[in-house]
Amino acid sequence: MIEPLSPAESTMIGRYRIRGVLGAGGMGRVLLATGPDGRFVAIKQIHAHLLDDREFRARFEREVAVSARVSGAFTAAVVDFDTSGETPWLASLFIAGVPLDRAIREHGPLPVPALRTLASGLASALHSIHSTGLVHRDLKPANVILAADGPRVIDFGIAQAVGTGAQLTEVGAVVGSPAYMSPEQAMSEPVASAADVFSLGSLLCMAATGDSPFAANSAAYTLFNIVHSEPRLDAVPPELRELIGGCLRKDPAARPTPAQILDYLGVLPVQSMPWPASVHAGIAEQSRYLVSLTSDPEATQIISSPIRPDATVTPPSRPPGRTRTKLAIGVAAAAAVVVAATTAVVIVRDEPAETTAAPASLPGLAQLREVSACDWLPQALGPTLPADIGAGSKLNVADWQWQQTSTWGCQGTSGAAELTLEIGTALDGFTATGDTVHGLPLRRRGIECALGVGAESGGWGITLATKERTSCALAEYAVERVIATMASPPRAAAASGSLSGVDPCALVDDAEAVAVGATAPGTPVTAHTCEWRGANTIRLTLSYPLRVDLPTFARKVVDVGDGVFVDALASTEPGSECLRMYRFREIGQQYLEVATLQVRGAEERIADTKCPAAESVLKSVVGRLPQ
């Protein structure tokens, strides 16, 4: 969450007037400011408690030097900095736009013309970056901003000069974001500019399909797929499959250069709106909000909504419009229900809102853990689907393929159709629409076909996700059927000793949480995940992933005593988090249940100071698991 400036803080940094606090990380914080010419800038500062540490000052000076070397039409230019003062800072041009990851999440995959624009812009950015002798090393959707005139690449915090051999982290550490790393990064080998091209291929695949071509249930499994598995490109438009596949070749020498990518794409037509209209609408609204921040030139604005420190300013959401009708799709729900897809919502309303019934109470998480998702979903759908909502799938529900998910949910597939039920999830990110469903408020996430019924944001519920592209008919039908059977969902005949019914918050006692720098008691995040927050954060997750033999670069086995062995998993942020996993139970030849403990904190060397304590906590957790 965004915190205001304290009364003792200056509202000026150099020549820049502070307009609000954008966010903070382990090394520093980012402020939104305006310069003398009225331009918005993002100012990064080192945390005060790190200023006496020569290592962090040197790292910050290096980031400034790297960022200042990069200037081009598709990057965020450095406009000013001060590395020698009492409080070092770096000011970069603030890009008004939508982060690519949020654009895909809220508006769905990009159409082919927009994908070509994205590919051309990012290839141009990489050409500019590589021409200075740098490798970005963290090209991912969150570091790409969709501006009104094209994409921009941001965040050069872990960029590195080719051939310098500069060591940013301890030997063997994995640097970057797992889903968008190159094989050489995943193996902790030296990287060159071809590593950024591989990341570009993964990023373009995600923009085209909504999914990373190597994504798995954990960072370790994702790294395994990057090194050993072929990318999943079936859903990529045929026009771009050759380009993306070329970028994702395992051999760095076999990948195209940014210049070759530009030659392959050719000269694109000039477009006044390169992105879908909904993205441009968001950009325009953000621009209006930025203008409103400077309506009083002498004021320091404190922004009241959470904003990504390296991305954009999100304007306050508008009050939902009021309607006089409600959605009639079944009986009163006993729990929140969410339907997610990628297209607009089609809602049929036929009753006045004034006649809403009293909402039912939500079931507890203990009840939700007992439900068998792969029995419930096909049973709720019935033996056959109506012909007008089949969405190209088989109408006979018995012909669908059903598979349990890692969170004890269920995924059904039939041809191109896919429907996933998850139980005990949170409704964060959903806002009220003003409509109700049998007396329960209807909530929605962004402009997706993603609906929440009967719970405030953050409440417990059930999610239903579908990959429909042209209609939400299948999703809406599934919601109606699930709600209709909400009162008596089938209970799982849990295998003896399964983790599915275990309360993760009951596995760590208060004293253990405090010893690791967190506060007690724990707070449920989902039915199978619990967090203990404080100076450090502990997160315990019980899950059911595919069984994959992890390579040695992704984990090492740690003996925590008394015959208990855990996996030390590769971290996306090796300095500031610690990941440990216990393999609880093998199920057949393919699957196993695991308990994963994550400890995160603001201090850069938390792995050195807290990993032993984390291992001790996980050892205690193991002793409390079912026998």
Residues forming the active site: 138
List all residues 6 or more positions away from 516 whose beta carbon is below 8 Å from its beta carbon.
532, 536, 538, 599, 610, 613, 614, 617
**Count of CA atoms in the C-beta half-sphere (13 A) of 261:** 32
As to burial, measured by CB atoms within 10 angstroms (0-12 exposed, 13-18 middle, 19+ buried), residue 337 is: buried
Q: What letter would DSSP give residue 397?
A: G
Nearest to residue 243, comparing CAs of 255, 253, 251?
255
> What is the DSSP track for 553-599?
TTEEEEEEETTEEEEEE--SSTTTEEEEEEEEEEETTTEEEEEEEEE
Distance CA 12, CA 14 (A): 6
Distance CA 139, CA 118 (A): 13
Could you tell me whether strands 16-24 and 12-13 are parallel, antiparallel, or unpaired per DSSP bridges? antiparallel
Computed on alpha carbons and rounded to an integer, the radius of gyration of the chain in Å comes to 25
Do 2 and 303 contact (CB within 8 A), yes or no? yes
Do 595 and 540 contact (CB within 8 A), yes or no? yes
Q: What letter would DSSP give residue 355?
A: G
| Neighbouring C-beta atoms of residue 542, cutoff 10 Å | 28
**In 3-state terms, what secondary structure has residue 385?**
coil
